[in-house]
């Protein structure tokens, strides 16, 4: 299922139960899947127009009035353009605003560099008290939303909005916003992955298995606060760590994992991430190839650590 459909559908049922939830868009409600909420909640699904800074501060005002605002736009228009509003109106002012950054990293595809946030995880991680969550698929998104509503405080949701392999659509999957998910246990190397590249990483682990390499694959859906126990336990077991992310190599998942390990358990680490490059236009698979984010790149990097 498209992640945005899971988001809008789940949010609608939450809005039906909780009249404090409001949805703010900035002329991207159709792209974000939230446009039809306006028919159901004409007062609580609001278009703020193409003015993201205002939208974020308006959300802070609504929060100060007791509402739980969700604001949504493309990731760079939040994490880059409205960074000061997020830091001051929302976080410094102690407000409970949920921020949806859509089409992160190479997911912006044909929109190219202006719309590609390679730095949003780094920026949002550096803001005090911000929770940074990146769902893998529609299952995680749908299960996360009620927990995000119940959690009091700012949350940045890094949302790939389109159709994506449903990695977690399986019986008995239990989701905890603050607990990482072990997808495959292994003993030779720990691969920590967030978001878009999770299915590619699972495929890479299967290739590695055929070559006799037993990789452990753990999805870090919440990059801040990171599930320290999950990372440390796995790194201790395997002694080798690879991170995989759709983000610059600086300040994202590689940064979060490296910071944790360097202080608590110095471990040999490497990354599959964007090599400090700028955005270009292209289709998703082309971009994965261009930036070195393919299944084969993951296999190669994993082997280089062994």
Partner 1 sequence: MDLKAKTKEIRRLTLSCIASIGVGHVGGCMSIAEVLSVLYSKHMRIDPTNPGKLGRDRLVLSKGHAGPALYATLASFGYFDKKELLTLNKLGTSLPSHCNMQLTPGVDMTAGSLGQGISCGVGLALGSKLSKDGARIYVIVGDGECQEGQVWEAAMFAAHKKLDNLTVFVDNNKMQIDGLTKYIVNIENIADKWRAFGFEVIQVNGHDEDAIDKAITKAKTVADKPTCIILDTIKGHGVSIFEKMGFANHSCPVTVEQLEVSLKELED
Residue among 287, 243, 278 at smallest CA distance from 106? 287
Cis peptide bond upstream of 115, omega within 30: no
Q: Which is nearer to partner 1, 92 or 175 (CB)?
A: 92
Interaction with partner 1 in 22-61: which residues (CB under 8 A)?
22, 43-44, 46, 48-49, 51, 53-54, 56-61
Question: Total residues at the site for partner 1 (CB under 8 A)?
Answer: 29
- CB of residue 56 to partner 1, shortest distance in Å: 8
Question: Is residue 183 near partner 1 by the rule CB under 8 A?
Answer: no
Of the candidate spans 83-91, 168-176, 271-279, 281-289, the one that interacts with partner 1 by CB under 8 A turns out to be 83-91
Tokens in use for 202?
A: 């699972």
Tell me: does residue 153 bind partner 1 (CB under 8 A). Answer: no
The yes or no reply on residue 16 touching partner 1 (CB under 8 A) is no
158 contacts 134 by C-beta, under 8 angstroms: yes
Contacts 24+ apart (CB under 8 A), 17-20: 18/68, 18/149, 19/44, 20/66, 20/67, 20/68
DSSP conformation letters of 205-260: HHHHHHTT--EEEEE--EEES--HHHHHHHHHHHSEEEEEEEEESSSSHHHHHHHH
Q: Is 80 helix (H, G, I), strand (E, B) or coil?
A: coil
Binding partner 1 by CB under 8 A: which of 13, 16, 36, 94?
Answer: 94
For partner 1, the closer CB: 66 or 171: 66
In the bound complex, what is the minimum distance in angstroms from residue 79's beta carbon to partner 1? 17
First to last CA, the chain: 36
Q: Which is nearer to partner 1, 155 or 257 (CB)?
A: 155
89 binds partner 1 (CB under 8 A): yes
Please say whether the beta carbons of 115 and 279 come within 8 A. Answer: yes
Q: Which residues bind partner 1 (CB under 8 A)?
A: 22, 43-44, 46, 48-49, 51, 53-54, 56-67, 69, 84-85, 88-89, 92-94
């Amino acid at each position: 299922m498209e992640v945005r459909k899971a988001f809008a559908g789940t949010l609608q049922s939450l809005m039906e139960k909780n009249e404090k939830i409001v949805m703010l868009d900035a002329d991207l409600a159709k792209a974000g899947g939230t446009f039809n909420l306006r028919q159901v909640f004409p007062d609580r699904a609001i278009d703020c127009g193409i003015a993201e800074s205002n939208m974020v501060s308006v959300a802070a005002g609504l929060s100060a009035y007791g509402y739980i605002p969700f604001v949504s736009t493309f990731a760079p228009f939040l994490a880059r353009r409205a960074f000061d509003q997020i830091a001051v109106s929302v976080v410094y002012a102690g407000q409970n605003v949920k921020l949806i950054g859509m089409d992160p990293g190479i997911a912006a595809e044909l929109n190219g560099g202006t719309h590609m946030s390679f730095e949003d995880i780094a920026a949002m991680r550096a803001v005090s008290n911000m929770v940074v969550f990146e769902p893998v698929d529609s299952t995680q998104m749908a299960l996360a939303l009620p927990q995000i509503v119940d959690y009091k405080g700012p949350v940045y949701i890094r949302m790939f909005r389109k159709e994506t392999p449903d990695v977690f659509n399986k019986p008995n999957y239990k989701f905890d916003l603050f607990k990482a998910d072990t997808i495959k246990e292994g003993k030779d190397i720990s691969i920590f992955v967030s978001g878009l590249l999770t299915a590619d990483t699972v495929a890479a682990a299967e290739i590695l298995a055929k070559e006799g390499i037993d990789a452990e694959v753990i999805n870090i859906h919440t990059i801040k606060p990171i599930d320290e126990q999950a990372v440390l336990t796995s790194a201790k077991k395997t002694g080798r760590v690879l991170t995989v992310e759709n983000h610059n190599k600086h300040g994202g998942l590689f940064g979060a994992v490296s910071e944790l390990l360097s202080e608590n358990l110095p471990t040999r680490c490497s990354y599959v991430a964007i090599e400090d490059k700028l955005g270009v236009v292209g289709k998703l698979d082309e971009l994965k190839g261009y930036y070195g984010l393919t299944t084969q790149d993951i296999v190669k990097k994993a082997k280089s650590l062994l």
